[in-house]
Amino acid sequence: MNHRVVLAGTICVLAVAIGACNAKSPETTDPARADGIAAQAGLGLPASSGIEPKSGVPALEAPLEALSAEHFAAFDLLANRPLAHRIEHANEAPTVAVDAISADFVRYVHGNHANDWMLNTAVEGGHVAGVKGRTAQMWVPALRPEQKAVVRTHLYNPARGHNALTITLNGHKLPDKSLKEGWQTIEVAIDDLRHLRADNTLNMTFSNMGRIGGNLSGGGFAWVRIGAPLPAQPLAAVKPSAAGAEAGAEAGSEGSEGQGASASRAEGESAPNARPEELWPSKAPLAQGPVTLADDNGLAWFVWIPTDAKLDLGIEAKEGCGPTVELFTEAGKGAVVSSLKVERLLVLGRGEQQQTAIDLSAHANQIVRLEIRPSAACTTPLKLNRAALVVPGVRPQVPKVERPKYIVFWMIDTLRADHLPIHFETDVQAPHLKRLAEEGASFKLAYVQGTESRVSHASLFTGLYPNRHKVLVRGKVDPQVPILSEYIKKAGYKTGVIASNGYLSHLLNLNRGWDYYTNNIHEETAVGGMFMARGGVRWATENKDNPFFLYLGTIDPHVTYRRHEDLIGLYEKEPYSGRYDRACSGEDLGLIKGKKLDVSPRDRLRIHNLYKNEITYNDQAFGFLRAQLEELGIWEQTMVVVTADHGDEFWEHGNVGHGHNVHQEMVHVPLIIYYPPLIPANTVVEAGVDIVDILPTLIDVVGSEAAADKQGKSLIPLIHNMHGGYPEPAVATQYLIHYAMQLQQWKIYLRRGDFQLYDRIADPKELTNVASDHPLASRWLLDSVGLFRAHRERWDKRTWGTSSNLSDNFTEIIGSNK
C-alpha cells in the first residue's frame, strides 16, 4: 500500500493548522495552461520544497512532478475523446466496450464502407446498429488478448422462429448461439486464444431474418464487449453512481439517454430507452472535454508520441486517489506489451486539484496504446480536467508579411512524387525543381483526391473531396460552386491560364474566373512545357504592372511520352530500336493496359525511361520560366506553387498508367510552395496534406476571408509547425470504391469489407499487408479512416481538425448522432 494513503489520517489531523486537509488547492492556474504552460501546483512552493516542521508537524510531501518549462499541446486527449476506446473493469478484467449506437461506432465498421449496417436504427424498446441482411463485419481491439476472453453483446432479434448468431473471429468460428425473439444479452467464449489478437475482425452471421427499419435483417446490436469474463460480482448488481450521471451530462446529447439512470433490470431483459447502466458500455461517453472516470472504467487512445513529448494531466480527485497511466507498444508479430506504467496519486495536503506530467520521450516516434484509468487506490471517482501530449516551447505563430504581388502555379500532369530528387533517391534529374524545394517548403506526403485528371482537377479547383463535388467518371463541377480562379480574382489579382489538360475547360466548368484563358488541347496548338513557359513569360511581361495569378497546366510526363534527343541518353544506356523508339502514345498504353499488346522487359524499361526524360524536359521548361521572371525583376515578389494531379504506374502492381488503384505511385504527388518572405528555406513538412488544401492556402495568402464551404485548410500553419509535429493524414480515393490514408510511414488501403496495412519504410512498393503484425498501427489508421469516411461529405479540416487530431468543438459541429 502506498505510504501516502497509510498516513492520511495522521496528516489530516496534524495539518489543520495550515488548512491542508480535504480542501481545494489554493493554486491559481495560468489561463495559458490550455496550451500547456504549467502553473506550479501546491501551496506556492518550489516543486522540491516541503514545509518546515513546526512543533513536530510533519512536512508535506513534494508535489507531483509537473512541467518545469513552457510546453504546448500537440494532441489534446480530451478533445480527441471521440477517437478513444471505452475500457470497463480496467483493473480486474480489462474489456473494450463498443457502443453500437453512438456516433463513434463508425470507427469499428470502416465508416460503414461496405454499407452492411443500418446505423442507430429504432427498434421496439431502443436503438441498434442493424445488420443489412444476414451478415456484417466489425473490427474491434482487444486489450489483453493473452488472457481468457469472451465476446458479450446486447442485441435485438427481429426474426420469428428460430434464429442463431454465428461469430467468426479472425476466420475462426466460435460456438453458435441460439436467440430468442427480441432483446437479450449473450456471451460467447473464445475457445482458442490463438485466434484472439490485439485487433480483431468479427463476422456476425444470423441464420434467419426479420425486419429492422423496414429492411430485412438478422439482428441489431446495442453494444459489443471483448475482454475477460466479468468479475465475480455481476455487473447487473452494481448500483449506478453519481459519477455515471455526471459523465452522461458531460457528453451533452451523445450517450445521454439516461446513461446515469438507476439500474432496474438484469441483463437479458428488454432494453428500455432509458439505457440502464448495467446494459450499457462505460459511464464515460465519448464526448469532448473533461471526463470523470469511476467504477473501474477507463479510456484508451491509439496515438503517436511526438519527439520530447510529455503527458500533461490536470487531475481532480480525493487526495490519495489518482490515475494509472499505461503505455502499450508493439513487440513484433502481432504482440503488444506494456512498456510504461505510472501511477500518480494526489499528494496528501496539496488539495483535490493537482497537475502532473509524465515523460514519454523514450517512446517518441512510436504508435502506442495509451490507457488512463483510476488507480486501484481510488474509492471515489476522479476527473481529468486536462490530458494532453505536449511538446517543449511556445506554439509558433505565422509571421505577418505583405502578400505576394504575383502567384505562379506550375502544374505537372502525371508526375509521381518518387520521380523527383526531393525526399527520394532517384536517377531522374530535375535540378530546377530541386532548387525551388530547397529555397521554400516541400511536403513529404501530399495526396491527390482522385487517380485521374477529371476528379483531381475538380478537387484542386473546388477545395472539395470527390464525395462533395460529385465529379467521378462523369459529371462536372456545379457552376454555383466557386473555384480557385474566382477567389483569386476577387482578391484583386488579374488571372491567366495556359493549360494543356483538356479538363481545365468547359468540360468541368473550370473555364471561369479567368481574365486570360487558353487551352492548348482544345485549340490544337503545341502542348510542350517549353512552349507553355514562353507563353507564360509573354503574359507575365504584359501584366507585370498589376498583381497577377498565372496558372500553367503542363502535361509533359503524361502520355504521349516523347523522346527528347538531348535527354534520353541520361536514362538509356543501351541502344533501343523497338516500337517505342520515338514515343509511347496514349493508344499504346491503353492497349498494354488492356492486355492487348505484349511488351518485353526491354520495352518496359524504354517506356519508363521515356517518362523520366519527359520529367527532365519539364524541369528545364520550369528553369526557363524562372530565369525569365528573374530577368523581369519580379521573381522575388512571386509565390510559386508546384504540384501534380496524379502519378502513373509502371508495373509495380501489374499494370500501367493511372486511374485504377490508390497505391502510392498513383496518388502521392510532389508539392512545393515558395515565397521567401513567408516561408523559410529548407522547410520540410512531415504532416500529410491533400491537394484540396491548396485553394484555402492561397486564399489565406492573398488575405481573403476563409471560404466556409471548403473542405481543405491552409497549409501555412503547418509550414510553421503550429501543430506541434503531430501526424496528420493524407487521403485519396478511387471513384469512392477504394480509399487510402497515410499517417507517417503507415498506409491503410480500404476496400469494401477489407483493408491492407503497409509499412512504407520497409515496403515502399506496398506489396505486403502487415496488418496482423502491427495491430496498434492498424487501429490508429482504422480509427482515423473510419471517422473520416463516415463524414466525408461534410468534413471541414479548417473547423473540424483532421481525422487524426480533432478540433475541440468537433462533436458540437457534427452533432452527436449524425
Q: How confident is the model at residue 285 (pLDDT cuts 50, 70, 90)?
A: low
Contact 727, 783 (CB under 8 A): no
Tell me the C-alpha distance between 451 and 453, whole Å. 7
Q: What is the pLDDT of residue 815?
A: 78
Query: How far is residue 555 CA from its own chain's centroid?
Result: 32
Residues 142-182: pLDDT tens digits? 999 999 999 999 999 999 999 999 999 999 999 999 999 99
Sign of the Cα pseudo-torsion (371, 372, 375, 378, in order): negative
Residues 45-96: pLDDT tens digits? 333 334 444 556 668 899 999 999 999 999 999 999 999 999 999 888 899 9
Cell matching residue 754: 477489407
Question: Average of pLDDT values for 130-136?
Answer: 98
Contact 691, 446 (CB under 8 A): yes
pLDDT above 60 for 398: yes
Give the CATH number of domain 406-723+727-814; options: 3.40.50.300, 3.40.50.1370, 3.40.220.10, 3.40.720.10: 3.40.720.10
Pairing of strands 446-447, 668-669: antiparallel
Same fold, 3-79+296-392 and 81-287: yes
Q: What is the pLDDT of residue 536?
A: 99
Tell me the C-alpha distance between 136 and 702, whole Å. 49
Q: Using CA atoms of 468, 469, 472, 477 in order, give the dihedral in degrees to the nearest 10.
A: 170
Tell me the C-alpha distance between 82 and 389, whole Å. 16
Q: What is the pLDDT of residue 59?
A: 80
Question: Average of pLDDT values for 508-521?
Answer: 98
Q: Return the closest-CA partner of residue 404 out of 697, 750, 744, 3.
A: 697
Tell me the C-alpha distance between 688 and 740, whole Å. 12
Average pLDDT of the chain?
88
Q: How confident is the model at residue 267 (pLDDT cuts 50, 70, 90)?
A: very low
One-letter identity of residue 691: I
Q: Return the closest-CA partner of residue 346 out of 355, 337, 333, 334.
A: 355
- In DSSP notation, 339-371 reads EEEEE-PPPTTS-SEEEEEEE-GGGTT-EEEEE
Q: What is the pLDDT of residue 232?
A: 55
Tell me the C-alpha distance between 71 and 281, whole Å. 35
3-state secondary structure of 509: coil
Q: What is the CB neighbour count within 10 angstroms for residue 216?
A: 15
Domain edges within the chain: 3-79+296-392, 81-287, 406-723+727-814
Cα separations in angstroms, 202 against 170, 197, 777? 6, 11, 18
Tell me the C-alpha distance between 498 and 542, whole Å. 15
Sign of the Cα pseudo-torsion (797, 801, 805, 809, in order): negative
Q: Please, how many CA atoms are within 13 Å of residue 703, restricted to the half-sphere of its CB?
A: 9
pLDDT above 90 for 25: no
Give the residue, 272 or 427, on which the prediction is more confident: 427
| Three-point CA angle 566, 567, 570, nearest 5° | 125
Q: Please, how many CA atoms are within 13 Å of residue 569, restricted to the half-sphere of its CB?
A: 2
Tell me the C-alpha distance between 414 and 658, whole Å. 8
- In DSSP notation, 744-802 reads TTEEEEEETTEEEEEETTT-TT-----TTT-HHHHHHHHHHHHHHHHTTTT--HHHHEE
Cell matching residue 645: 494531379
pTM of structure: 0.89
Least-confidence region, from 68-82, 142-156, 196-210, 255-269: 255-269
Q: What is the pLDDT of residue 93?
A: 86
Size of the chain, expressed as the number of residues it contains: 818
DSSP state of 239: P
Question: Average of pLDDT values for 216-225?
Answer: 97
The fold adopted by the segment(s) 81-287 is Jelly Rolls (2.60.120)
3-state secondary structure of 276: coil
Question: Average of pLDDT values for 692-711?
Answer: 94
Sign of the Cα pseudo-torsion (60, 61, 65, 68, in order): positive
Residues 526-572: pLDDT tens digits? 999 999 999 999 999 999 999 999 999 999 999 999 999 999 999 99
Give the CATH number of domain 3-79+296-392; options: 2.60.120, 2.20.25, 2.60.40, 3.30.1310: 2.60.120
Give the residue, 146 or 777, on which the prediction is more confident: 777
Cα separations in angstroms, 720 against 111, 305, 440? 32, 20, 12
Beta bridge partners of 781: none
3-state secondary structure of 224: strand
One-letter identity of residue 500: S
Residues 319-375: pLDDT tens digits? 999 999 999 999 999 999 999 999 999 999 999 999 999 999 999 999 999 999 999
Beta bridge partners of 750: 739, 755
One-letter identity of residue 628: Q
Residues 419-447: pLDDT tens digits? 999 999 999 999 999 999 999 999 999 99
Pairing of strands 446-447, 583-584: unpaired
Q: Identify the residue whose cell numbers are 502506442.
A: 368
Cα separations in angstroms, 629 against 72, 323, 422, 548, 626? 41, 61, 23, 13, 5
Tell me the C-alpha distance between 420 and 415, whole Å. 8
Q: What is the pLDDT of residue 92?
A: 84
| Portion of the chain with pLDDT greater than 70, in percent | 86
Q: What is the pLDDT of residue 296?
A: 87
CB within 8 Å of 446: residues ≥ 6 apart: 417, 643, 668, 669, 670, 671, 688, 689, 690, 691, 730
Contact 233, 110 (CB under 8 A): no
Contact 351, 314 (CB under 8 A): no
Beta bridge partners of 412: 554
